Structure formats: structure tokens, C-alpha cells
Amino acid sequence: MKSLHLLDYAVIILSLIVSLYIGFYFSKGQKSTKKYFAAEGKIPAWAIGMSILATLVSSVTFLAYPGEGYSGNWIRLVQGLMVPIVLVFIIWGVVPLYRNVIGISAYEYFEKRFGYFARIYASLGFILAHFSKMGTVLYLLGLAIASLLGVNTITLIWILGGMIILITLLGGIEAVIWLDVIQGFLLIVGGLISLIVIMYSAKGGPSAIWETAKENDHIGFGPFDLEFVNLTFWVMAINGVFYAIQKYGTDQTIVQRYLTAKSNKDAIKASLIGVLLSVPVWALFMFIGTALFSYYKLNSGSELPDGIRPDAIFPLFIMQELPIGITGLVISALIASAISSLDSDLNCLSAVLTEDFYGRIKKNASDNQKLFFGKIMVVVSGILAVVVATVYLKIGGKGALGIIFSLYAIFSGGIAGMFLLGLFSKRTNKKGLYIGILACVTFTAYAALTTTKIGDRLILDLGTWNFKQHNYMLGVYSHFILFIVGYVASLFFGKTKADESLTYYGWSKSKRQMNLN
């Protein structure tokens, strides 16, 4: 690959300086947990929407989506396409519910509805999922940027990790959101410029790009077979429904954004802006991969190295084909996509650890003590994420990923099912829910152990009794199991009913009364 020009380095360094400046700028006034974690509810809707976009996309989107588009068709985009469909049905009730019920942590809702154990179960699921995600993002970013700049990968991971920790530590959620706004625009601009260059530098132009991709079955969302063993449209669609419910109904990184808005109306508007921007961005980067496939088919003079990974093809194109200055801009967008995801994760992890654990252990803690603890957790969480990324690098990014995702499935499976029970079932009680959680954990442990391999051997081989369906269905079934078992088991523990204000029915009733008044 060619070396970066001085102008490219200047663009990258400038973007990093701007990121640090925003962290220092918003460090003033971070004197309460409400300010540090929720910006005192003063952020405009459009900025929150851009922040949701930047949180949902990351270096995984920047690298993995083009890799998927290059390797095959658009089937993995189906999950994202389901999000706005689900959001339209749940957002009007979910946002006001959370803004009225919780302080900072999304999982406070589960405690009020089902008890403290439900809160801890959901919190641990969030923590495990996001530590594995943060490690993955840093790992992929380190590999890509180190190969582009020709520097040591571990050194780069620790430098970028330290910078992200510093920004989040100083500026709190305000710095996170306003930095996300800039980085969201940078991500979109970088993606669009890259696609335009690909489309118009290919022999035959955009029409040839499209026809070549179509002839080689790189356009479409199939196969459409109604079975769940292989990766099909229906596997991705069903998975997308539960992804949307869990992300927008229970994920701290999204729910915490609701609390930063000035009103319920602004929070709903922000959610819609975020998801309606996210889907086109996911599609943009998926199509970049499709266009790259056609580009290298059409341009015989542009050869790919033997054995190159699909997720490395876009970085290779950036270095080989983009003009001076634009290369630096797109690399800055790649770095920004990681920062905008990781700074959000750090702040939200800190909020959960402070509210769900420290606040319960030290019940008389002052707000200043909680704030101090929260800032310590930003640093600790950031360092642990960097360590996870370093471990991925040392072992090739395979073994640790499998183990961590298996743990996530065991300890956080069924959270969307638990949320739906809390929202739509007045009859479900905590005893019944706990039985549902036990059934869910048992199932996900069985499914994870009978599908996860160490070397060439399954961790648990039950022969014909192994979980045979696609791994993506594991999470789907866990939600169904928790929902069904939790509801049925509740029927055996008396006739106590939930506080109606914690359900959809209570929100619906209060809305009707407001309309009448």
C-alpha cells in the first residue's frame, strides 16, 4: 500500500484534536450525576438523534458491513431494516414510561416491576454484552488503522483507548453526544465520498457496478426459505424484531439518551431521527462492499492480495485509490465511528455500575460520592475494554469472542422477553419471572455449549440432541422461553397484579385522560 501523505496525517490529527477539545470544553460544570449521565435533560432532539446514530454504528459497521457486501448479498442488512418497523409500534409508550419511572439506569424499571434480582440480571447482561462489543470495536479498529498507518497495533489500541477514556471522563454525556454529532456527520460524508469514488472509477461506471453485482448474486436479501437452520431472510427478520425491542426497550445506551431530551416529544423525535438515519447508513456501507466487489471485477489492473480478509478490502481501497486528503478524511471517519460508539458505552457502563451496584451497596452515598465513583468506573471500564481488545489480538480474535458471547447468551438471554412481560402483562409476578429466567438461562447454556467449539470439538456434544438451528435463533428462543414460562409460572403464585403505571395499559389510560382534559 502507498504511504499516507502529509495532508492526510494533518486531517487525522486535526480530527483527534477536535475530539479532545470537546471533552475539555464540556468538563466545566460536570458536578452532579444528573449532569454527568443525563445532561440535566437539556439536549435538543436532533443532536440526540445524531448521537443515537453514532452509537449504533461503529468501526464494526465501517469494516464488517463492506466485508459482508463484498462476500455476499445484503441478507445481514435485514436485521437493521426491521428496527424502524418495530420502533413505530413501541416508541410512543416506551419513552414516556422510562422518563417517568427511572432516574438514570434503564434497569431500575425491572426492579420496580419485578424486584432487584431482575434489575441485576438485566444489568449484568448489558455489562457483559458491551464489554465484549467494546473489545471487538477496539480490536477491529486497531487492526485496520495499524495496517493503514504502519504502526504497532497494541500501541495504537492503548493510545486510542486512553484518548476515549479521557474524553468520556472529562465531558460526561454532553461531550459524548456533541462529539457524536460531529462524528456522525463525518461518518456519513466519509462513506458517501468513498462510494462515489468507487462508482465513478470503475470501468463502465455505476451501471456496470450494478449489473456486475446483480449477475453474481450480490444484490438481494435471500434465501427466503422458511427454515431456521441456515442463515435465511426469516432468521434475520425475526432476529431483527427482537434486536429492536431489546435495543430500544432495554439497552442503557439508548434509554439514557431518552433522559437527556427536554421533553417526551423530543425524546421520541430523537429516537426516530436516530433509527431513520441508521438504516440508510448501514445500507450505505453494505453497498460499498457490493460496489467494491464489482470494482475489482471490472478493473483488471486493480489486484487484491492473495488471502485478503473481506473486512480488510475497504481499508485497502482507501489507501490505494482515494485522493490525497480524502484518504485522511475517511480514516478520520473510521476512527470517529469507533470513538462515537465507545465513549457512549463507557458513560453508560459507568451509569449502570454506579446506579445499580454502588448506589445499592452504599445507600447513603451522596451525589458527589456517586459522581466520583462513576468517573472511576469510566477509567476502569475503559482500561478493561483495552485489555479485552489486546487479548483478542494475542489469540487471533477467535477464542475469547466465542467465550464472551456464550457468557452473554447465558446471563442476558431473554431480556426482551422480560421487557415485554413487564410492559404488556399485568398478571406476571416476580416469582413467575424468576422461574422464567431459570428456564431461559438453562436453555441458552445448553444451546451455547452444544454449538460452541474449542478447536474441532464441541464443548458439550449431545449428538442428535445438540442445538441444530442457526446461532442467531438462540437469542430469539431465549426471549420466547422467558416470556412464556414466566407468564405461565406466574399463574401458580396468587393473583397479585402489577402497578398499572409500570405497564403499557397505565400509559395508555393516562394518555386518554390527558386527551379528554
Between CA 128 and CA 510 the distance in angstroms is 36
Other beta carbons less than 10 A from residue 301's beta carbon: 5
Report the candidate in 8, 52, 69 with the shortest Cα–Cα distance to residue 322: 8
Cell matching residue 367: 451525589
Grid cell for residue 364: 447513603
Asked if 190 and 334 count as a contact pair (C-beta separation under 8 A), the reply is yes
Give the list of residues 6+ apart from residue 396 with CB closer than 8 angstroms, or none: none
pTM of the shown model: 0.87
- The three-point CA angle 127-133-139 to 5° equals 135
pLDDT in the model for residue 89: 80
pLDDT digits over 218-251, tens only? 999 989 998 888 889 998 899 889 888 888 888 8
Burial (CB < 10 A; 0-12, 13-18, 19+), residue 233, is middle
Q: Render each residue's pLDDT in the chain as its tens digit; 517 residues.
A: 567 888 988 998 998 899 889 989 988 888 899 999 998 889 999 999 999 888 777 767 777 889 889 988 999 899 889 988 888 888 888 888 888 888 888 899 999 999 999 999 999 888 887 877 788 788 878 887 887 777 888 888 899 899 999 999 999 999 999 988 888 888 888 899 999 999 999 999 999 999 999 999 999 998 999 888 888 999 889 988 988 888 888 889 899 999 999 998 999 999 999 888 889 999 999 999 999 999 999 987 677 877 788 878 888 898 888 888 889 888 888 888 788 888 888 999 999 999 999 988 888 899 999 999 999 999 999 999 899 888 878 776 544 444 444 455 555 678 989 999 998 888 899 999 999 999 998 998 898 888 877 777 888 889 889 998 887 888 789 999 999 999 999 999 877 777 788 888 877 777 666 555 5
Q: What is the pLDDT of residue 402?
A: 43
Read off the DSSP letter of residue 261.
B
Going by the DSSP 8-state scheme, the letter that residue 75 receives in this structure is G
d(CA 421, CA 429): 9
Q: Which residues contact 310 (CB under 8 A, 6 or more apart)?
A: 66, 67, 68, 70, 71, 289
In eight-state DSSP terms, residue 437 is H
pLDDT of residue 47: 93
6-24+40-404 folds as Sodium/glucose cotransporter (1.20.1730)
Q: What are the residues whose beta carbons fall under 8 Å from the beta carbon of 102, sequence distance 6 or more?
A: 108, 109, 255, 259
Q: Could you state, in order of their start, the residue ranges of all structural domains in the chain? A: 6-24+40-404, 413-512
